[in-house]
Amino acid sequence: MTRTTLIIGGGAAGVLLAGQLCRSSDHEVILVDPSENPGAGVAYGHAAAWHLLNSPAATMSADPDQPGHFMTWADQAGSPISAGDFAPRSLYGRYLRATLADLVDADRLRVIRAGVTALATTDEHVVADLDDGRRLTVTDAILATGNPAGAQPVPGLADHPRYIARPWTPGAFDDLDDRPVLLIGTGLTAVDIALSVAVFRPDAPVHAVSRHGLLPQAHRAGNQTATVQTRTPATDPSLAELLAAIRTSVSNTGDWRAVVDGLRPRVDEYWRALNPRSKERFLEHLARHWEVHRHRMAPQIAGRVSGLVDSGRLTVRADRIKAVDVSSADRIDVTFADGTETSYGAVVNCTGPGRLPGAAAPVVARLLSQGLARVGPYRLGLDVDDTGRLIDAQGRTNPRLWTIGAMRRGRLWETTAVPEIRAQAVTLATALVGAPAESTV
């Protein structure tokens, strides 16, 4: 009988998985997403013209068998790009939507505009309740819900009208004025928001704060890469040994970008090999340093950010927020740990994903409360096996519930970028093709 696979989430992970399943199986594939125009997700759905991809176009194909698929589509769409270009994120969002639409037009995919409120499993099926009252009975369900909700870094801010908790919400910056804006976080999201503030309110000073005060590094123009072989100790490598091997590679090549890019395919191998104490030390002391070198800015973006810093319009500080005064509805007064006090016309949360279970999407939270899933290592995602099957509260692998992408973080380290998600889609689709099973919708 026909096997029916339900994909929950219509962002990049959902699109890449849908495409892979449609190419490699005869499954009936259903994608459920509540957004008006599924396909682009949060990352690419609301990007402005000045927001660029953080990776070159050659790495961003939705089809692993056609590395140039994105570039070919862009050329046909009248927006030609080359392999080394850092294309507009809005263009990539259009590409993902077009990829999804092609699957629908080919009668290989059914898209339902709704949210999933609950999942239940039997030995043979998964039952999904939708927020429009419908119920689907399918063979397998895959969570492609993206990152957990953003961390809430400062108590007392959540309900203040000048606090922007979700900066990618359309219209989030409509009420900005020329008063200073504080960005909590200094990663890629903060970079994007700083550029947006500079466009919408060019006279508004922007302050960005994080514990380390580190902005992402820049890609090198031309995106030169090199294969770097970093030897992994045979058993139980220590963090110190890995760092020494990386430093040796940097010294030998003279190019840290090439080393980082050469390490990327093996990062999860290293992550799995580290003992729990080494992983904890990495998370506490080194994760941020890795992130700013691994997740880099496009050269053009780095140039604009440098200009903002040099002109004094963007100030980056290594500090933490000690207290906030939210007694006024029109401003937020912030006291930093170094004693500085500043009044802000807006405070924007740019901290990145929070930890589970508190930051879980509603359907994920429901699975956790039911015991059908459990929180994974370091509360970064869900616990899964090597193919992405969920592990329940009793430590059993669920044969019918899966996840892909960001919710695997913790078991994996590299699991949020398109190349890694694309590879996961291949592995997951191969596993799903296994045993046939009956389903009804």
The pLDDT value recorded for residue 244 is 86
- The pLDDT assigned to 437 comes to 47
Q: What does the block give as tokens for 393?
A: 């509260």
Closest of 233, 225, 289 to residue 263, by C-alpha: 225
Higher pLDDT, 439 or 73: 73
Q: Is the domain of 417 the same as that of 371? A: yes
Last-in-domain residue among 334, 349, 364: 349
Q: For Cα atoms 421, 394, 405, give the angle at the middle one, nearest 5 degrees.
A: 10
Specify if 194 maps to a domain: yes
Q: Domain tally for the chain?
A: 3
Q: Are residues 258 and 203 in the same domain?
A: no
Among 349, 366, 382, where does a domain finish? 349
Pair of tokens at residue 121: 């499993």
Tell me which DSSP letter residue 396 carries: P
**CATH at 103:** 3.50.50.60
Indicate if 46 and 126 belong to the same structural domain.
yes
What percent of the chain has a predicted confidence (pLDDT) above 70? 95
Q: Is residue 228 part of a domain?
A: no
For residues 76 and 17, state if they share a domain.
yes
The reply to whether 226 falls in a domain is no
Q: Are residues 43 and 115 in the same domain?
A: yes
Rounded to whole angstroms, how far apart are CA atoms 124 and 137? 10
* Per-residue tokens: 398: 């669920």
Residue 224 lies in a domain: no
Indicate if 300 and 325 belong to the same structural domain.
Answer: yes
Average pLDDT over residues 164-190: 93
Q: Which of 317, 333, 349 is the last residue of a domain?
A: 349
Residue 1 binned pLDDT confidence (cut-offs 50, 70, 90): low
Q: DSSP characters for 302-370?
A: HHHHHHHHHHTSEEEEE--EEEEE--STT-EEEEETTS-EEEESEEEE---B--TTTT--HHHHHHHHH
State how far the Cα of 262 lies from the Cα of 260, in Å rounded to an integer.
5
Co-location of 400 and 314 in the same domain: no
The SS3 of residue 13 is helix
- pLDDT of 255 reads 85
> Does 231 map to a domain?
no
| pLDDT tens digit sequence for 351-396 | 989 999 999 999 999 999 999 999 999 999 999 999 999 999 999 9
Q: Identify the band that residue 436 occupies on the pLDDT scale cut at 50, 70 and 90.
A: very low
Q: Compare 250 and 311 and report the one with higher pLDDT.
A: 311
Whole-number pLDDT of residue 209: 98
- In the sheet that holds 135-138, the strands lie side by side as 116-121, 126-130, 135-138
Q: Are residues 72 and 128 in the same domain?
A: yes
Higher pLDDT among residues 318 and 48, named by residue: 318
The two beta strands, 126-130 and 135-138, are antiparallel
Note whether residue 51 is domain-resident.
yes
- Report whether 130 contacts 117 (CB < 8 A): yes
Q: Verify that 211 and 320 share a domain, yes or no.
A: yes
Q: What is the dihedral of CA 143, 279, 369, 426, to 10 degrees?
A: 20
Regarding whether 300 and 287 lie in a shared domain, the answer is: no
**Could you list the residue range(s) of the whole structural domain that residue 427 is in?**
4-149+354-432
Measured distance CA(13)–CA(40) in Å, rounded: 10
Which of the four pLDDT bands, split at 50, 70 and 90, describes residue 236? Answer: low
Residues 238-295 have pLDDT tens digits of: 888 888 888 888 888 888 998 898 888 889 988 998 989 999 999 999 999 999 999 9
Would 391 be classed as within a structural domain?
Answer: yes
User: What confidence score (pLDDT) does residue 153 get?
Assistant: 83
Give yes or no: residues 91 and 191 share one domain: no
pLDDT for position 208: 98
For position 169, what pLDDT does the model report? Answer: 87
How distant is the alpha carbon of residue 26 from its chain centre? 29
- Helices 256-263 and 239-253, packing angle to 10 deg: 130
pLDDT digits over 314-356, tens only? Answer: 999 999 999 999 999 999 999 999 999 999 999 999 998 999 9
pLDDT classification of 439: cutoffs 50, 70, 90? very low
Label residue 235 by pLDDT band (50, 70, 90).
low
- pLDDT tier at 30, thresholds 50, 70, 90: very high
Nearest-CA neighbor of 8 among 149, 143, 148?
Answer: 143
Q: Which of the 8 DSSP states describes residue 384?
A: B
- Is the domain of 249 the same as that of 398? no
Q: Is residue 39 part of a domain?
A: yes
pLDDT at 108 over 90: yes
